[in-house]
Structure 1
Amino acid sequence: MKKKILVVSAHPEPRSLNAALAKFAVDHLSAAGREVQLSDLYAMKWNPTVDTDDYPDHGSAGGAARRLHVMRDSEEATLAGRLAPDIAAEQEKIRWSDAVVFQFPMWWFSAPAILKGWIDRVFTSGFAYGPKVPPPYDDTAGALAGRRALLSVTLGARETAFSDRGIHGRLTDVLHPLQHGLFWFTGMTPLEPFAVYDTDRMPADRYAPALEAYARRLDALFTDPPVPYRTLTGGDYDHDMRLLPGREREGTTGLDLHTYPDPAPHSGVSR
């Protein structure tokens, strides 16, 4: 069976580097025999704001004055098949996919607001998290388990500024909310991100090498080892979700506590 990939792109300029990378990913994966769908959020004029319109039946169980409770109402709408059509369509793309690729520029140490809004609206309770789906932080049984996930990000700063002693902090740490807090939390298998640095001053002769590097990452989408995050149910955490003493390699601190010191014992395979 052909592998299926969803590319989610977030840049307002269709002539931008990000748009070019998104198009390259779609074309390269398609040429390799993959099935590909593209969600170009700006071209779609995606609404990034969660509100009661997302849940058409909101208020029907308690009158129009019923207070919006996003987790409760999104779960009810999800399980009843009563989400706004644009949300339901994006969820169906994720269900269809074997892998998800996010393409975006780093803005203020995060993704553009339109992409964050896509996450807020699409990753509803009952679909990506919540008591009605399997426990989080496990890519063998999580809500969206069986899907690989790759971040492709452009950054204006040089690579050294996002290093262990760089002033911006390690890129691994900056992207932790997406890698661990979104992908891993929902059961997806995160890969090491693909990054193009120093794009504010990127000369034309760096473009072809960047595409070659990206092609290699796309070719290895289903074979590269995943980020070795610890599973919540693997015996490393106590009832309060705190890492048990002695599980880490001596001297390990910060976010590195939540990755295995050796290759992860889980497979990270994709369906």
Structure 2
Amino acid sequence: MNVLWIQAHPETRSLNGFLAEAGQRALRDEGHEVEVSDLYAMGWNPVVDAAAYAHDPARRFQVADAAKQAHAEGTVSADIQAEQEKIDRADTIVVQFPLWWFGMPAILKGWFDRVWHQGYAYGHRGPNGEWIGYGDGFLAGKRALAVVTTGGPAWFYGERGIHGAIDELLFPLQHGMLFYGGAEVLPPVLVTGADRFTPADGDRAAGDLRARLLAIPVTEPVPYRAQNSGDYDENLVLRPDVAPGSTGLGVHVRTGVRPLPPVVPPVPAGTACAAGHPRTR
């Protein structure tokens, strides 16, 4: 595999830093190529601005149109172009981050905001002139995997857990960004109770992460419904005969797939829950 590993954590000595190093080493030891975008180490600029698209400041800045024009003319800023070249070289994308306030850190969201722009990541038509997306697009033929740590225990992120089901919390990333771009999205690696980890817990998590990484080529992807599968009508609304009477994010998955288990056992019930807050290291 040619892997692009995108990581977003400010501390290399954190659990995230440890898992990133262990996971990348495991891939390389098996002969896979790994390219890394460590956003904090790079000092990545997460803010969309006109300068990135060589936009004339005298004119109104319409972000999508400016990005599309700059992409066509080859005037997108060098930092964005470099990340797009990494994506083009990869056949597998790993996105690693701690879950902060129910989503990815701002620096990672800003990476998507700037790199995933019109003309590159979306706004394309297929051979018959149809708009493409959700199962087809610039990531077609690639696989994608999210590696996510949380402070709260596993049951907080179950179907009835107070923080919400992890597959729904990750839906914007997995369905709206990765699957929209055409990638086959694998069930996420979820490391729960991260703030309570001991060195032994970290070693066990690294071993389980290694197993998940090396199984990427044979892991079944989440069966999201493709945009042009026939499940949606001309307005891209599910047809009445598809999952009739059901609503919510789960209707966009063909079957009731659930994420694979967390890579470490949940902490025992009754353990102090100070680390259960949705903001986690």
TM-score by length of 2: 0.87
Corresponding residue of 2:254: 260
Tell me the distance in 2 between the aligned counterparts of 1:262 and 1:109: 22
Tell me the distance in 1 between the aligned counterparts of 2:166 and 2:256: 21
> 1 or 2 for the larger relative contact order (CA 8 Å, sep ≥6)?
2
Q: Are residue 145 (structure 1) and residue 113 (structure 2) matched?
A: no
1:104 is paired with a residue whose SS is: strand
2:225 is paired with a residue whose SS is: coil
Checking the alignment, whether the CA contact within 8 Å between 2:250 and 2:256 is kept in structure 1 is no
- Could you give the per-residue CA deviations for residues 132-177 of structure 1, whole angstroms, max 9, x where no partner exists? 6760011xx4222111000000000000000011001100000000
Matches within 5 A, 1:33-182: 33-56=31-54, 58-59=55-56, 64-131=57-124, 135-138=132-135, 141-182=136-177
Unaligned stretches of 5+ residues in structure 2:
258-281
Corresponding residue of 2:30: 32
Corresponding residue of 1:192: 187
How many residues matched?
253
Unaligned stretches of 5+ residues in structure 1:
264-271
- Residue 243 of structure 1 aligns with an amino acid whose one-letter code is L
1:42 is paired with a residue whose SS is: helix
Report the more deviating stretch, 122-131 or 44-53: 122-131
Q: Are residue 213 (structure 1) and residue 208 (structure 2) matched?
A: yes
Checking the alignment, whether the CA contact within 8 Å between 2:186 and 2:222 is kept in structure 1 is yes
Checking the alignment, whether the CA contact within 8 Å between 1:6 and 1:97 is kept in structure 2 is yes
1:243/1:41 CA distance change after superposition, 3 Å: same
Identity of aligned residues (%): 44
Checking the alignment, whether the CA contact within 8 Å between 1:106 and 1:112 is kept in structure 2 is yes
- Residue 42 of structure 1 aligns with an amino acid whose one-letter code is Y
CA RMSD in angstroms, aligned pairs only: 1.5
Q: CA deviation at 1:129?
A: 0.4
Q: CA deviation at 1:251?
A: 6.5
Corresponding residue of 1:202: 197
1:223/1:124 CA distance change after superposition, 3 Å: same
